[in-house]
């Protein structure tokens, strides 16, 4: 019995309440019908056993909970939906692969999932993003989706944003941004803009081990890994490790430059910022990155694009700007795009974290130390 306790698979021993009959651990497969607006009534439920919790998204007030044994459900007199009704509400926005039972049927829609099809999908699909929902305790991982699906359905997903800033010298306190216009040219996106200014960062993609974390609360390691990966890809220095294409206009590359990994200083964690646009719903973790003035002239920004099935790395020009200049360009310069990774920092709902960012930059401007 003791050997079985250490070697068993809980998924093969779950009872009707999602409790493992061997070790006693609970394994709910949670999903939510939250629209990501931060308001209204929200149901979170297990697609396997039907246990659920009902709360108000704006206040976090819990109305009903099968997950909290101390919660008094007798006080709830509202309308309850069955598991079948709740599963039906997400029928058109779920991934059958994530909800397969031991008989290879989807527990949401009942569709038979072909094992060969599933294996092929796992091997060839695009990277999967963390999809999250909010409950009264924090943000919980509700699933994983490709970026195109997440944005099409407005699913809230995780990203990181990094603000490099200069800590000493004449340009002390200035932000380091890059102009992504060359990438737009490479992707054949027509644009009449003279510049498209952006910060560093990107989406939090899940690896194979993290795909098992559905139902868990998000943790710092998710963002740290994503931030380090994005910096390794996007913020480089002059070197000899690999080549970046140089695009002077939309006609194509005119040359190349050698680049290498930049050994950056320690990231400063700031906090969460939210953003909800027309086709984008993100929870971003914001970091500040101290950069010594002596490093700035050696820095290169990079990104990649795909052509004919091949991935190409491309050089993006770097700019040192005061935040006030960015605000002014955002208000007045119609030919310059200030990307939403920057403008979301100025939103009213992100004012507390934005204030922390300014305080962190001011502190390091004063001391010149990371």
How far apart are alpha carbons 173 and 324 in whole angstroms?
11
- Of 176, 346, 178, 215, the closest CA to residue 273 belongs to 346
pLDDT at 194: 80
Q: Taking Cα atoms as reference points, which of 202, 206, 161 lies closest to residue 183?
A: 202
* Residue-level pLDDT at 369: 57
pLDDT of residue 119: 43
Residues linked to residue 237 through DSSP beta bridges, in sequence order: 260, 299
- Quote the Cα angle for 237-239-244, to 5°: 80
**pLDDT at residue 286, rounded to an integer:** 98
Beta carbons of 259 and 239 less than 8 angstroms apart: yes
pTM: 0.67
- The answer to whether residues 146 and 125 touch, using CB atoms and an 8 Å cutoff, is yes
Per-residue pLDDT of the chain (370 residues; tens, 9 = 90+): 444 545 567 777 888 888 888 888 888 888 877 655 556 788 888 888 889 988 887 777 888 988 888 888 777 777 788 888 887 776 656 677 777 776 777 887 777 766 544 444 444 446 899 999 998 889 999 999 998 889 888 899 999 999 999 999 999 999 999 999 999 888 877 665 688 999 999 999 998 888 889 999 999 999 999 999 999 999 999 988 888 999 998 888 999 999 999 999 999 999 999 999 877 899 999 999 999 999 999 999 999 988 877 788 999 999 999 999 999 999 987 788 999 999 999 999 999 999 999 999 999 866 655 5
pLDDT confidence of residue 70: 83
Which class for 244: exposed (0-12), middle (13-18), buried (19 or more C-beta within 10 A)? buried
Can you give the length of the chain in residues?
370
What tens digit of pLDDT does each residue of 26-84 get? 888 888 776 555 567 888 888 888 899 888 877 778 889 888 888 887 777 777 888 88
- Render pLDDT for 227-240 as a digit per residue (tens, 0 to 9): 999 999 999 999 88
* Percent composition of the chain: helix, strand, coil (DSSP 3-state, to 5): 30, 35, 35
- Angle among Cα 221, 225, 230 to the nearest 5 degrees reads 150
In which element (H, E) is residue 29 found?
none
pLDDT at position 117: 44
CB burial class (10 A; 0-12, 13-18, 19+) of residue 327? middle
CB 43 within 8 A of CB 52: yes
Residue 118: its pLDDT value, please? Answer: 45
**Is-contact 339 196, C-beta < 8 A?**
yes
CB atoms within 10 A of CB 201: 22
| CATH H-level superfamily of 158-367 | Nucleoside Triphosphate Pyrophosphohydrolase (3.90.79.10)
User: Where in the sequence of the chain do the CATH 3.90.79.10 domains occur?
Assistant: 158-367
Q: Would you put residue 309 in left (φ > 0), alpha (ψ -120 to 50) or beta?
A: left
CA atoms of 203 and 20, how far apart (whole Å): 34
Grouping H, G, I as helix, E, B as strand and the rest as coil, residue 148 is helix
């Amino acid at each position: 019995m003791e050997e079985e306790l250490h070697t068993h698979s809980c998924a093969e021993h779950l009872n009707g309440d999602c409790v493992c009959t061997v070790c006693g651990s609970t394994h709910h497969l949670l999903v939510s019908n939250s629209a990501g607006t931060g308001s209204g009534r929200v149901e979170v439920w297990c697609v396997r056993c039907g246990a659920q919790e009902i709360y108000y998204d704006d206040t976090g007030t819990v109305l009903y909970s099968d997950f909290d044994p101390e919660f008094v459900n007798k006080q709830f007199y509202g309308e309850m939906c069955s598991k079948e009704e709740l599963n039906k509400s997400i029928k058109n926005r779920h991934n059958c692969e994530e909800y397969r039972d031991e008989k290879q049927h989807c527990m949401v829609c009942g569709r038979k999932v072909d094992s060969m099809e599933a294996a092929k999908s796992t091997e060839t699909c695009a990277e999967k993003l963390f999809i999250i929902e909010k409950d009264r305790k924090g943000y919980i991982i509700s699933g994983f989706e490709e970026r195109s699906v997440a944005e099409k359905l407005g699913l809230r997903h995780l990203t990181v944003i990094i603000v490099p800033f200069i800590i000493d010298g004449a340009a002390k306190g200035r932000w380091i941004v890059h102009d992504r216009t060359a990438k737009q040219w490479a992707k054949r996106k027509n644009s009449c803009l003279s510049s498209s200014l952006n910060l560093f960062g990107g989406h939090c993609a899940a690896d194979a081990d993290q795909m098992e974390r559905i139902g868990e609360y998000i943790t710092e390691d998710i963002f740290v890994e994503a931030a380090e990966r994005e910096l390794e890809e996007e913020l480089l220095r002059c070197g000899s490790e690999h080549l970046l294409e140089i695009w002077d206009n939309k006609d194509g590359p005119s040359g190349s430059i050698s680049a290498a990994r930049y050994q950056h200083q320690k990231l400063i964690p700031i906090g969460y910022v939210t953003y909800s646009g027309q086709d984008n719903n993100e929870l971003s973790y914001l970091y500040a990155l101290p950069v010594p003035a002596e490093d700035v002239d050696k820095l290169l920004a990079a990104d990649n694009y795909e052509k004919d099935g091949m991935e190409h790395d491309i050089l993006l020009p770097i700019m040192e700007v005061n935040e006030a200049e960015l605000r002014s360009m955002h208000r007045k310069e119609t030919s310059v795009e200030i990307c939403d990774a920057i403008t979301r920092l100025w939103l009213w709902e992100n004012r507390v974290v934005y204030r922390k960012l300014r305080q962190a930059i001011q502190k390091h401007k004063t001391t010149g130390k990371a």
